[in-house]
């Protein structure tokens, strides 16, 4: 995990606290402003109404005078000289005065026009104190609630995070199921976490047993198949050496040998691929030319009766530290395909400084066939009824297993070019 669930949870709660704090502060400010406007308007209108009610009872009712309020009254028909010029320009209603927390109400009745000016410094202080106290209480409530929620969430998340860390350190080949035993889980291990741990332990056991059974079956079956194949190979060699066997029998025996060779190559590939990635086949220093010569000689009988020339062209003599059997299986599979699908012309095996290139003049492949050529059991051509479509799939899987690169290029009616790049394992090279 790049950050970990607890850290992400912490960041989420921090973001929640920040956003909640902003909402509380902005809400307190906006609410205070709304309350102030409502109270001041109400108070001004109330003072004006009180003045008019007093004048209705007593024509000499005085204007309100206080530290926060003063007023002016202009009877109907009188000049407004006693009213400050800055107030005369305002119309009927409540207005904000510039330069401070002051408001003006202008109210006109048949008796005259009333000007009341009120200062709200004291009200501002009261609202500010009340807003500050409310804001602090709200923030304390938010922080306390968030902290308690975070603690509860952390207790719930801790077992999941612990389980993820344990599984992340598992060896894929040998998972340590004891590390996630029920008694080792921290925090609240009941409920979903316990179910998840139990399911994971069960799945790990089943997967391990399944892999072991598959590996044992592949290994045992491959070994057991070698004995009858050896008998078949020896028997066909003896019969091919018998001059009394007719030509038709020779062709049949050669097909049997070809099928036996294909089976041996597949068995070797299965044995290699059945091993775990941490247990590669035995490696050694060897000359590529030796492997090439052996595989070419094995492939020559497949061309019997065909006007096809099989030749090795060496422009270098690379020496590898790798598995000669792996290279032999890969080259053998490629040569088998080339021999089967080339009816006339030439098959050339080029030994280059860091690769083997097999070029044939066979039937070639269309782009659609070329795209699926690596798929297991895929056969685009039905000329060879004994083929199972496994050759190129095995070649690709072996190349991937040993970090080699294999490429395929083909043109219908022209031929196919297969390149096996093993440059990473070259330990010596010389020009041929």
Top-confidence range, 150-159, 210-219, 227-236: 227-236
Out of 114-128, 156-170, 248-262, 372-386, pick the least confident: 372-386
Out of 10-14, 201-205, 252-256, 327-331, pick the least confident: 201-205
Rounded to the nearest angstrom, the gap between the alpha carbon of residue 194 and the centroid of all alpha carbons in its chain is: 27
Please list the residues that pair with 418 across neighbouring strands.
358, 408
CA atoms in the 13 A half-sphere facing the CB of 74: 16
What's the fold here for domain 172-279?
Helix Hairpins (1.10.287)
* Percent of the chain scoring above 90 in pLDDT: 17
- Res 2: pLDDT: 44
- The label of the residue with tokens 């050694």 reads 284
H or E segment to which residue 293 belongs: helix 288-299
- Res 172: pLDDT: 61
Confidence of residue 155 (pLDDT cuts 50, 70, 90): confident
Distance CA(35)–CA(186), nearest Å, equals 52
- Res 70: pLDDT: 87
Domain ranges of the chain: 5-144, 172-279, 281-432
Q: Residue 159: how many CB atoms within 10 A of its CB?
A: 21
Q: What is the DSSP pairing of strand 345-352 with strand 308-314?
A: parallel
Mean local confidence (pLDDT), 281-296 = 88
- Res 430: pLDDT: 62
Q: Rounded to two decimals, what is the model's pTM?
A: 0.51
Token pair for residue 227? 């004995």
How would you class 391 by CB atoms within 10 Å of its CB: exposed for 0-12, middle for 13-18, buried for 19 or more? Answer: buried
Contacts of 314 (CB under 8 A, 6+ apart): 289, 292, 350, 351, 432
H or E segment to which residue 143 belongs: helix 121-168
User: What's the distance, Cα to Cα, between the start and end of the chain in Å?
Assistant: 52
Examine the pLDDT at 153 and tell me if it is beyond 70: yes
| Phi, psi angle pair for 155, to nearest 5° | -60, -35
Confidence of residue 186 (pLDDT cuts 50, 70, 90): low
- Res 276: pLDDT: 55
- Res 187: pLDDT: 61
Confidence of residue 309 (pLDDT cuts 50, 70, 90): very high
Confidence of residue 1 (pLDDT cuts 50, 70, 90): very low
Token pair for residue 274? 């059945």
- Res 281: pLDDT: 64
- The label of the residue with tokens 């501002």 reads 124
Contact indicator for 408, 416 with CB cutoff of 8 Å: yes
| Phi, psi angle pair for 93, to nearest 5° | 120, -170
- Res 431: pLDDT: 57
Distance CA(302)–CA(294), nearest Å, equals 14
Distance CA(42)–CA(105), nearest Å, equals 11
Examine the pLDDT at 372 and tell me if it is beyond 70: yes
Confidence of residue 79 (pLDDT cuts 50, 70, 90): confident
- Res 129: pLDDT: 84
CA nearest to 303, candidates 385, 351, 362, 391: 362
Going across the sheet that includes 93-97, the strands are 69-75, 112-119, 102-109, 93-97
Examine the pLDDT at 154 and tell me if it is beyond 80: no
Question: Does the domain formed by 281-432 have CATH 3.30.565.10?
Answer: yes
- Is the Cα dihedral 77, 82, 87, 93 positive or negative? negative
pLDDT digits (tens, 9 = 90+) for 262-276: 677 677 777 777 665
Q: What is the DSSP pairing of strand 308-314 with strand 112-119?
A: unpaired
pLDDT digits (tens, 9 = 90+) for 339-368: 988 999 999 999 999 999 999 999 888 888
Mean local confidence (pLDDT), 1-11 = 67
Mean local confidence (pLDDT), 177-206 = 71
Using CA atoms, how far residue 175 sits from 167, 184, 196, 205, 333, in Å, is 8, 16, 16, 9, 36
- Res 236: pLDDT: 86
pLDDT digits (tens, 9 = 90+) for 379-430: 665 555 555 556 788 888 888 888 899 999 999 989 999 999 999 888 877 6
Please list the residues that pair with 187 across neighbouring strands.
none
Examine the pLDDT at 307 and tell me if it is beyond 70: yes
Distance CA(372)–CA(376), nearest Å, equals 9
């Amino acid at each position: 995990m790049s950050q970990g669930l607890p850290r992400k949870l912490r960041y989420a709660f921090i973001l929640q606290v920040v956003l909640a704090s902003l909402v509380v502060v902005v809400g307190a400010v906006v609410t205070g402003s709304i309350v102030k406007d409502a109270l001041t308007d109400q108070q001004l209108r109330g003072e004006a109404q009180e003045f008019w009610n007093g004048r209705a009872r007593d024509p000499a009712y005085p204007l309100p005078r206080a530290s926060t309020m003063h007023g002016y009254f202009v009877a109907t028909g009188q000049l407004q000289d006693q009213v400050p010029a800055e107030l005369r320009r305002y119309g009927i209603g409540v207005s904000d005065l510039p330069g401070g927390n002051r408001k003006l109400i202008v109210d006109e009745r048949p008796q005259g026009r009333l000007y009341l000016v009120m200062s709200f410094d004291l009200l501002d202080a009261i609202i500010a104190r009340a807003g500050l106290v409310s804001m602090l209480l709200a923030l304390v409530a938010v922080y306390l609630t968030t902290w308690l929620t975070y603690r509860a969430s952390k207790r719930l998340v801790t077992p999941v995070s612990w389980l993820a860390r344990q599984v992340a350190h598992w060896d894929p080949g040998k998972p340590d199921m004891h590390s996630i035993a029920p008694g080792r889980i921290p925090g609240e291990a009941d409920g979903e976490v316990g179910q998840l741990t139990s399911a994971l332990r069960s799945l790990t056991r089943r997967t391990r047993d399944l892999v072991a059974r598959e590996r044992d079956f592949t290994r045992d079956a491959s070994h057991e198949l070698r004995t009858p194949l050896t008998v078949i190979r020896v028997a066909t060699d003896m019969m091919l050496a018998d001059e009394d066997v007719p030509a038709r029998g020779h062709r049949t025996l050669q097909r049997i040998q070809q099928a036996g060779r294909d089976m041996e190559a597949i068995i070797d590939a299965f044995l290699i691929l059945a091993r775990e990635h941490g247990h590669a086949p035995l490696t050694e220093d060897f000359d590529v030319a030796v492997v090439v010569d052996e595989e070419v000689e094995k492939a020559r009988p497949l061309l019997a009766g065909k006007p096809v020339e099989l030749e090795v062209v060496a422009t270098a003599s690379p020496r590898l530290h790798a598995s000669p059997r792996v290279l032999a299986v890969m080259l053998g599979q490629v040569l088998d395909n080339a021999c089967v699908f080339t009816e006339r012309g030439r098959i050339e095996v080029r030994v280059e400084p860091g690769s083997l290139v097999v070029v044939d003049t066979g039937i070639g492949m269309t782009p659609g066939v070329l795209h699926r050529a690596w798929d297991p059991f895929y056969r685009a051509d039905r000329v060879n009824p004994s083929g199972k479509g496994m050759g190129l799939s095995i070649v690709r899987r072996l190349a991937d297993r040993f970090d080699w690169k294999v490429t395929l290029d083909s043109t219908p009616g022209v031929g196919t070019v297969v390149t096996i790049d093993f440059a990473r394992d070259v330990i010596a090279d010389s020009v041929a």
